[in-house]
Chain A
Amino acid sequence: AQTVTQSQPEMSVQEAETVTLSCTYDTSESNYYLFWYKQPPSRQMILVIRQEAYKQQNATENRFSVNFQKAAKSFSLKISDSQLGDTAMYFCAFSNNRKLIWGLGTSLAVNP
C-alpha cells in the first residue's frame, strides 16, 4: 500500500524568506504522480504544483519548486519569497492515476 509522510506538523517563516516543506512516500509502482496542495482557512484545496515520476526535471511554478528524489522517495516543496498569503495547510499527495493518497499536512505560518 502507498503511504505519504509529512514529518513537519508546523512551520513558520518570515515574509520574503525561503522555506522548504518535506514529504516522503512509499510505493512499489514505477509510474505515478506527486502533488502539493494548499488549503487555506477557507477549506478550498488548491493545487500548487505537480510532478510526474517519469520526469527527472523538477517542476517549478513561479515561487514554488520541488526537489524530487525518486530513489529516495522524497518530494519536498520550496517556497521562495514567502508572502503572507502563503499561510495555509500544505498537503503532499500521491496518485497512481486513480485516487489521491495524502499526508497529514504541514501548517505554514508566514510572519510579517
Chain B
Amino acid sequence: GAGVSQTPSNKVTEKGKYVELRCDPISGHTALYWYRQSLGQGPEFLIYFQGTGAADDSGLPNDRFFAVRPEGSVSTLKIQRTERGDSAVYLCASSFGTGTEQYFGPGTRLTVT
C-alpha cells in the first residue's frame, strides 16, 4: 500500500516568510510524528499526535512552530517568520498506535535564505 507522503519535497523561502509542510500518513495509522534533521545530525523530535490531538509538543523549539491534524489523518507543520536556523529536513512518520514501528516519509528539505 501507499507509504507516508510529504509535500513539498523541497522548499526554498526567504527569511521572515511563512511556510507550511504537509504530511499524509499511512491509512489507518492513528499516531503521527514530526522530526527535524539538521545536516549531519540525527533527527530531533518536534511533536506527535494521537488522533487529532497533540499528545506531546515538547520538542517544538518556540512559538513560531505549530502543527495541526484536524481530522486525524493529514497533518500540517506551520512555521512563522522563518529564520535561517530553521533550514533542515523535516521528517514525518506514522504508526499504528504508539509503541509500534514508525514509518517515515521522504522528508521535506526546507532552505531559508
Contacts and interface: CB of A to CB of B under 8 A. Distances in A.
Nearest to A42: B106
A45 interface: yes
Contacts of B40: 104
23 contacts: A35-B101, A37-B104, A43-B89, A43-B106, A43-B109, A44-B104, A44-B105, A44-B107, A45-B93, A46-B104, A47-B102, A50-B101, A95-B99, A97-B98, A98-B48, A99-B33, A99-B56, A100-B45, A100-B93, A101-B45, A102-B42, A104-B41, A104-B42
B106 A44 contact: yes
A35 B104 CA distance: 14
A75 interface: no
A99 B109 CA distance: 21
Interface in B86-113: 89, 91, 93, 98-99, 101-107, 109
Contacts, number: 53
**Interface size classification for chain A:** 20 to 34
A47 B59 CA distance: 22
B77 to A, nearest CB: 15
A103 B42 contact: yes
State which size class the interface on B falls in. Answer: 20 to 34
A98 B55 contact: yes
B72 interface: no
Contacts of A95: 99
A98 B49 CA distance: 10
A37 B104 CA distance: 10
Interface of A: 4, 33, 35, 37, 42-47, 50, 91, 93, 95, 97-105
Given A47-B101, A99-B59, A104-B40, 8 more contacts: A37-B104, A46-B104, A47-B102, A91-B43, A100-B93, A102-B44, A104-B42, A105-B41
Given A43-B106, A43-B107, A100 B101 contact: no
A97 B99 contact: yes
